[in-house]
Amino acid sequence: MKAEIISVGTELLLGHIINTNAAFLGRELAASGIDLYRITTVGDNIERLKKCLETALERADIVITTGGLGPTIDDITIRAVSELTGKKLVLNRSILNRLNKYFRSRGIGSPCDGKRQAYVPEGAMIFDNKIGTAPGIIVGFKGKKIVCLPGPPREIEPIFTNDILPYITNGRAGKELIKSRTIKISGLPESRVNAIVKDLLILKPPTTVGIYAKLGEVDLKIMAKAVNEASAKKAIFSIEKKICARLEKYIFGYDNENIEDAVARNLFKKKKTIAMAESCTGGLISNRLTNSSGSSGYFIAGIVAYSNSIKERVIGVESGLIRKYGAVSKEVAIAMADGIRCLTRSDIGIGVTGIAGPTGGTRSKPVGSVYAAVV
């Protein structure tokens, strides 16, 4: 089964909103063994949207649209589907009653334009939206399916997971599914990882490996298509063993685990505590360290010290160090790390000082100069 996604909204084209819906749908479709071949973004223009739908229907069995189901004049998805398929728009009393109830429960009368959301293509299947106003809709056309979903992620995700996906995958028992495993690496650049596993990166389906560079890490993603979950996992494990044998000391986690989760795991394992003294990072490192569940078990404190007086009076940095070497220096970073460790009686102290910019840089210490110390 082949699928395409059409994301509708000029705000997506202009970069005002990040398209998280496409990423969510891609993951869900892959996990169900549905091949997603294209993702298209189109603005709020009915003729362009109709052309996108027409082209997608020539290639795919299922075309999923997101957005453009609201009550305003620029919400044109349903009208485009109606005109393309030749199915006239009819008032759905069930949707209308739910809309009226929705607005009454919030102490406001039903807006005049709100009624537009109760018109759907004749014969369409309706899936209730328990969070917002626009329902999920499936329209059959020439043996294909057009799935229309609302735009807000908190609305689209429960509708698709609980209602749409079970419907479109009904009767696919025994068909192929796709499973994946992500191996997370830190300490090597993408080029070096590529050289180490290049023979695996050229594998052909049904089992493939992809490489993806991120800030501070490189991910290797193994994907396997198989007739059942056990076969897919077996294929993935055989590749995973090869990767781990070559890169073991650089692997910090798997799948959705991030670097702070790995730090937390090791702090718990070694029964160590940690404290932060931050200057240019403004508390961002403390924020990441406390993102993991149970962080109160290892994170003692974090101090954001931009002024030199706080570095001296609170953290305990000697004023002579700052005068001699400057606040942005190796010596002050070490003093901050040692000072916060002593102040909080933690096992590990981290100090960070730098010039984040855009101003404040000098010839000897340009913008972007950062010193980090661990004691």
DSSP string, 137-199: EEEEETTEEEEEE-SSHHHHHHHIIIIIHHHHTTT-TTS-EEEEEEEEE-SS-HHHHHHHHHH
Measured CA to CA in angstroms, residue 212 lies from 30, 120, 220 at distances of 18, 41, 6
Please report where in the chains the tokens 């997971």 appear, as a residue. 161
Supply the CATH classification number for the domain 177-254.
3.30.70.2860
How distant is the alpha carbon of residue 77 from its chain centre?
A: 25
Which pTM value belongs to this model? 0.71
How many CB atoms are located within 10 Å of the residue 89 CB? 17
241, 314 contact by CB (below 8 A) = no
Largest pairwise CA distance in the chain:
80
In degrees and rounded to multiples of 5, residue 153 shows phi and psi of -55, -40
Q: How many whole angstroms separate alpha carbon 325 and alpha carbon 373? A: 15
Q: How many whole angstroms separate alpha carbon 14 and alpha carbon 315? A: 45
218, 193 contact by CB (below 8 A) = yes
Q: How many whole angstroms separate alpha carbon 323 and alpha carbon 309? A: 12
Supply the CATH classification number for the domain 265-374.
3.90.950.20
What's the token pair of residue 209? Answer: 């490996």
| Peptide bond preceding 71 in cis form (omega within 30 of 0) | no
How many CB atoms are located within 10 Å of the residue 28 CB? 16
pLDDT at 132: 87
- 3-state SS record for 256-278: CCCHHHHHHHHHHHHCCCEEEEE
State the span(s) of the chain assigned CATH 3.90.950.20: 265-374
Each residue's pLDDT, cut to its tens digit, for the chain (375 residues) gives 899 999 999 999 999 999 999 999 998 998 888 889 999 999 999 999 999 999 999 999 999 999 999 888 888 999 999 999 999 999 998 888 888 888 788 777 666 556 788 899 999 999 999 898 889 999 999 999 999 999 999 999 999 999 999 998 875 544 678 889 999 999 999 999 999 999 999 999 999 999 999 989 999 999 998 888 899 999 999 999 999 999 999 999 999 899 999 999 999 999 999 999 999 999 999 999 999 889 999 999 999 999 999 999 999 999 999 999 999 999 999 999 999 999 999 999 999 999 998 998 888 899 999 999 999
pLDDT at 174: 46
Q: How many whole angstroms separate alpha carbon 97 and alpha carbon 95? A: 6
Q: How many whole angstroms separate alpha carbon 236 and alpha carbon 94? A: 47
Question: What's the helix, strand, coil split of the chain in %, to 5?
Answer: 45, 25, 30
Supply the CATH classification number for the domain 2-168.
3.40.980.10
Measured CA to CA in angstroms, residue 120 lies from 64, 102, 139, 157, 181 at distances of 16, 18, 9, 21, 40
State the span(s) of the chain assigned CATH 3.30.70.2860: 177-254
State the span(s) of the chain assigned CATH 3.40.980.10: 2-168
pLDDT at 176: 76
Nearest to 157 by CA among 139, 136, 182, 137: 136
Q: How many whole angstroms separate alpha carbon 132 and alpha carbon 150? A: 9
